[in-house]
């Protein structure tokens, strides 16, 4: 069965639109398997959504993120995403993209996280909090190359999807096919820039 990684719906939408290229993971010892898979589908979750961690230019992603769920009475208002804890996970979600790992970096310096900000939609304050959540552990930053599948696939949310580990199995066959969000030339350019930032060679381009 294909493997998927759970991420906030707004993050997945940004990945699928080329607005975000990075995801953050704690380097905590209790998550040694965090990236044991090199490619995976992107499974949207809603419970932790909040608009106060998204930079102003990317607030429209919140509305588009609602399209990642299938709501029986129509999409809820965007204001629902501002409630503490987000909104209740719908019975079904749409899987529209998969990603492959193109780079993994261990970050301990807040300045590097700030310089990487062109490649994620979160506020710098949110990124800083991610770095500080576990002070004894570094932040693992992963560069993803995302592909949109030809047609979104609706997946029923099972009880075990709501809790538990980051990874889950999708109980239907899904092929790893589709169109890369960025062309080879575009992706090669940003990958080189990201790796230069992480190594401390150059600052991010405006």
Residue 41 tokens read as 């589908």
Domain assignment present for residue 155? The answer is yes
Q: What domain count does the chain have?
A: 1
Stretch 113-139: mean pLDDT: 77
Residue 167 within any structural domain of the chain? yes
pLDDT digits (tens, 9 = 90+) for 61-87: 777 788 888 877 777 766 666 666 667
- Poorest-pLDDT segment among 9-13, 47-51, 85-89, 140-144: 47-51
CA distances from 124 to 44, 103, 131 (A): 23, 21, 11
132 falls within a domain: yes
More confident residue, 50 or 88: 88
Tokens found for residue 202:
């150059």
Name the region of 172 (left: φ>0; alpha: ψ -120 to 50; beta: rest).
beta
- Asked if the structure places residue 206 within a domain, the reply is no
The tokens for 103 are 């780079």
In a domain, 170, yes or no: yes
How is residue 205 annotated by DSSP?
P
- Show the domain range for 119: 3-199
Q: pLDDT band at residue 164, thresholds of 50, 70 and 90?
A: low
Task: Kindly report the average pLDDT of the chain as a whole number.
Answer: 80
Residues 6 or more apart in contact with residue 144 via CB below 8 angstroms: 15, 21, 22, 23, 99, 100, 101, 102
Note the pLDDT of residue 32.
41
pTM: 0.84
Domain membership of residue 25 (yes or no) is yes
Is there a domain that residue 204 lies in? no
Average pLDDT for 129-137 = 62
**Which residues, including other chains, have CB under 8 Å from residue 188's CB and lie 6 or more apart?**
none
Specify if 69 maps to a domain. yes
- Smallest CA-to-CA distance from 99 within 36, 42, 150, 139 is with 42
């Amino acid at each position: 069965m294909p493997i998927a990684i759970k991420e906030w719906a707004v993050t997945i939408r940004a990945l699928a639109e080329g607005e975000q290229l990075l995801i953050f993971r704690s380097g905590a010892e209790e998550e040694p398997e965090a990236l044991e898979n090199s490619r995976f589908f992107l499974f949207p979750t809603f419970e932790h959504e909040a608009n106060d961690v998204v930079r102003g230019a990317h607030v429209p992603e919140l509305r588009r993120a609602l399209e990642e769920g299938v709501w029986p009475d129509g999409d809820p208002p965007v204001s629902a995403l501002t409630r503490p804890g987000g909104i209740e996970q719908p019975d079904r979600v749409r899987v529209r993209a998969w990603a492959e790992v193109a780079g993994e970096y261990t970050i301990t310096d807040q300045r590097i996280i700030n310089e990487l900000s062109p490649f994620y939609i979160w506020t710098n304050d949110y990124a800083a909090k991610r770095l500080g959540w576990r002070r004894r552990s570094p932040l693992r930053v992963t560069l993803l190359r995302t592909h949109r599948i030809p047609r979104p696939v609706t997946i029923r949310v099972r009880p075990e999807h709501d809790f538990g580990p980051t990874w889950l199995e999708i109980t239907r066959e899904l092929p790893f096919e589709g169109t890369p969000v960025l062309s080879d030339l575009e992706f090669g350019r940003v990958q080189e820039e990201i790796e230069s930032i992480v190594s401390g060679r150059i600052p991010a381009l405006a």
